[in-house]
Chains A and B, each alone.
Chain A
């Protein structure tokens, strides 16, 4: 079998291609981005056998995947954990309508918030949607997961969630790849009416979904990723979910005096849990993210026999990523003596790149607001959020994707002036446009500064769905064309840009200023590619 060194994200993507994938839908977001990029760079993605362009946002991505599944083909939607919030509406209802072609929803969680606004645990969503979830522990399991997910999806007519966490998504290992199976032929569902969630049908679908639960439970109890290993010392049993199992194996060094339940599929495999509760005096739950299994196991009032240990009991930290030494500590295993942390290293936070257009925008915005003590800038998600840090310190809020425009609107409604929204081109296309429509319909005094760097820069320069059509889009939404201004964020345009921003902040109504200059990283990458394709030695 061929071997490759792949990230967990990439192994999952290759596994999906080999499992007969027809369509990959996604909006970029760390740590999920490389799933879709891998498909795009694969032979199947390049020649169009697998559809793999970026979607405008996670909701449109998942909806399109549901549509492809409706038409009988295997589809996947991929996103970061907070992206599932954007896609929550189709996600929950997808479980009701079910799947026709295999439907897999890949969500990458980011415990410790390496590149995120929160560390929500996607497994909680499985309760909300009553949907099964596969949680691979290794890159090899990530490769195997799509075939399992598509099989389960097609057998029980239900979408399947696959949960990754940062350390699996962004860690490489050598994996063996297997045989490739054919894509599904186009075929419509036998019962098309199950996709019409009118109340009368939806009630029936809900009953159907509940009726599937015993089969889903059986699937997780017999999953290839779940196993119960008995051992003699039953003073303690250990439950390890997903990648936490690796830390457990590392910490114990292959010595396993206690029974271990590895969980790699949900709903929580009840039969194994019941066995451990019956046989062990205490149970340690090791899981990445929320104390999801631990909390259920503790129950209300909290179970005392067996005693449940984990993130809630203080045996493991309540927040943040796990690692081998934390798990060793929870087991009372001695950890190596550490050299003290050096006092010298200073923090080195990420920063805007030298020459970045956002630097010129931030400088212009800072000056335009310098005589406006009540002015506030409602920021959004993207590289420009870094202008909240010194030396710019020009951004006052950052909540979620697309929120800048409507946060600015709400505060303007309450009397704040000037209210400025700072949003990137890709984020505007993702979820800013509907908020702009609210501003237009309400004639809100909001200045919307769209920083158009012609790419999705923060995640590595993916194509932006705005595609340099922002002025047209804003005019179409109804912004007065006299108040759609385009500026060039360059140092030599500073005075002119400050003047434009001041004029539009003074305007009593919705106005848009588009600061347009390509991301320097993207521009460099394109220049290198051009040079390489013209026979140079870049």
Chain B
């Protein structure tokens, strides 16, 4: 098993929490893990990305090779497009379909979505709608983790256990909201 994943989003969207759940899942399955994150200045509403590499063999580089990522999991559609050079020829893009337009010259949303639809494999997810259905808009990141789950190479139930571990200190209500968000995201993704 070997999966190279690019996580993409904007500072404040909960991308590092998503990465944290993936890391916990890898640890629990005794998989090798490398997970490069962006901290510091870029988190002030700027671009945030993380390279996540999972494997049952030794992983050397903390960074994914361009042109080899199995999955781009994006909390924001323009950010999904930013990383397409990392994508393998047959790679999958799973993206939130709603823009986070915190810049004055944000491009036309339709042209972004059109370009994503031209990729060989993609899923566009209504993360906000499903997060609301789960009970909290802040759980959009877990909706997207669920949407990416079929392509991560781990048993989704393992990921759900990791969601529970990651949010353990926040209490049962928050854990269940996030688990529900994950399941809704996964169902939407499997519907295509």
**A interface with B by C-beta (< 8 Å):** 3-5, 7, 30-31, 33-34, 114-115, 167-168, 170-174, 243, 246-247, 249-250, 323-325, 328, 335-342, 344-353, 383, 386, 390, 458-460, 537-538
- Give the distance to chain A from B77, nearest Cβ to Cβ, in Å: 9
Inside 8 A of A31's CB, which chain B residues have their CB?
39-40
Assess whether A170 is in contact with B36, with CB atoms less than 8 Å apart.
Answer: yes
Inside 8 A of A168's CB, which chain B residues have their CB?
62
Inside 8 A of B103's CB, which chain A residues have their CB?
346-349, 351
Closest to A30 in B: B40
A459–B39 CA distance with the chains assembled, in angstroms: 8
Assess whether B82 is in contact with A5, with CB atoms less than 8 Å apart.
Answer: no
Assess whether B81 is in contact with A339, with CB atoms less than 8 Å apart.
Answer: no
Assess whether A342 is in contact with B82, with CB atoms less than 8 Å apart.
Answer: yes
A386–B27 CA distance with the chains assembled, in angstroms: 38
Assess whether A537 is in contact with B173, with CB atoms less than 8 Å apart.
Answer: yes
- From A3, A338, A344, contact of B78 by CB (8 A): A344
Assess whether B42 is in contact with A172, with CB atoms less than 8 Å apart.
Answer: no
- Give the distance to chain B from A317, nearest Cβ to Cβ, in Å: 15
Assess whether B78 is in contact with A346, with CB atoms less than 8 Å apart.
Answer: yes
A114–B42 CA distance with the chains assembled, in angstroms: 8
- From B84, B107, B174, contact of A339 by CB (8 A): B84
- From B26, B32, B37, B104, contact of A171 by CB (8 A): B37
Chain B residues 31 to 58 lying within 8 A of chain A, measured CB to CB, are: 31-47, 51
Closest to B12 in A: A353
Assess whether B60 is in contact with A537, with CB atoms less than 8 Å apart.
Answer: no
Assess whether A339 is in contact with B87, with CB atoms less than 8 Å apart.
Answer: yes
- From B30, B31, B66, B115, contact of A336 by CB (8 A): B66
A-B contact pairs, 25 of them (CB 8 A): A30-B39, A33-B39, A33-B40, A34-B39, A167-B62, A170-B36, A171-B34, A171-B51, A171-B62, A173-B59, A173-B62, A174-B33, A243-B62, A249-B60, A324-B63, A325-B67, A335-B67, A336-B65, A336-B68, A339-B89, A340-B84, A342-B82, A344-B78, A345-B107, A537-B170
Please report the total number of B residues contacting A with Cβ < 8 Å.
Answer: 57
Known: A31-B40, A114-B38, A339-B87. A348 touches B27 (CB 8 A): no
A246–B64 CA distance with the chains assembled, in angstroms: 12
Assess whether A5 is in contact with B23, with CB atoms less than 8 Å apart.
Answer: yes
- Give the distance to chain B from A288, nearest Cβ to Cβ, in Å: 11
- Give the distance to chain B from A175, nearest Cβ to Cβ, in Å: 10
**B interface with A by C-beta (< 8 Å):** 10-11, 19, 23-24, 26-27, 30-47, 51, 59-63, 65-68, 78-79, 81-82, 84-85, 87-89, 102-107, 111-112, 115, 170-171, 173-174
Known: A170-B38, A171-B34, A171-B35. A344 touches B24 (CB 8 A): no
Closest to A248 in B: B60
Assess whether A170 is in contact with B37, with CB atoms less than 8 Å apart.
Answer: yes
Inside 8 A of A34's CB, which chain B residues have their CB?
39
A180–B58 CA distance with the chains assembled, in angstroms: 27
Assess whether A325 is in contact with B66, with CB atoms less than 8 Å apart.
Answer: yes
Inside 8 A of B11's CB, which chain A residues have their CB?
350
The prevalent SS among residues of A at the interface is loop
Inside 8 A of A460's CB, which chain B residues have their CB?
39
A7–B59 CA distance with the chains assembled, in angstroms: 15
- From A4, A341, A390, contact of B85 by CB (8 A): A341
Assess whether A173 is in contact with B82, with CB atoms less than 8 Å apart.
Answer: no
Inside 8 A of A172's CB, which chain B residues have their CB?
19, 23, 33-37
Considering residues A335, A348, A353, which has the most beta carbons from chain B within 10 angstroms of its beta carbon? A348
Known: A5-B33, A167-B63, A339-B67. A459 touches B170 (CB 8 A): no
Considering residues B41, B43, B59, which has the most beta carbons from chain A within 10 angstroms of its beta carbon? B41
- Give the distance to chain A from B137, nearest Cβ to Cβ, in Å: 15
- Give the distance to chain B from A256, nearest Cβ to Cβ, in Å: 12
Assess whether B67 is in contact with A336, with CB atoms less than 8 Å apart.
Answer: yes
Closest to B32 in A: A174
A281–B102 CA distance with the chains assembled, in angstroms: 54
Closest to A339 in B: B84
Known: A114-B41, A337-B67. A171 touches B36 (CB 8 A): yes
Inside 8 A of A386's CB, which chain B residues have their CB?
44
A248–B91 CA distance with the chains assembled, in angstroms: 24
Known: A344-B107, A346-B105, A350-B41. A5 touches B26 (CB 8 A): yes
Assess whether B66 is in contact with A174, with CB atoms less than 8 Å apart.
Answer: no
Assess whether A335 is in contact with B65, with CB atoms less than 8 Å apart.
Answer: yes
Assess whether A323 is in contact with B61, with CB atoms less than 8 Å apart.
Answer: yes
Assess whether A351 is in contact with B66, with CB atoms less than 8 Å apart.
Answer: no
Known: A34-B39, A167-B62, A349-B46. A173 touches B102 (CB 8 A): no
Closest to B174 in A: A537
A172–B26 CA distance with the chains assembled, in angstroms: 11
Assess whether A170 is in contact with B39, with CB atoms less than 8 Å apart.
Answer: yes
Inside 8 A of A459's CB, which chain B residues have their CB?
40
Given A167-B62, A174-B31, 12 further pairs, Cβ under 8 A:
A31-B40, A115-B40, A171-B62, A172-B23, A173-B59, A174-B32, A323-B65, A336-B66, A340-B85, A341-B85, A351-B45, A537-B170
Inside 8 A of A351's CB, which chain B residues have their CB?
44-46, 102-103
Known: A115-B41, A345-B107, A350-B45. A173 touches B35 (CB 8 A): yes
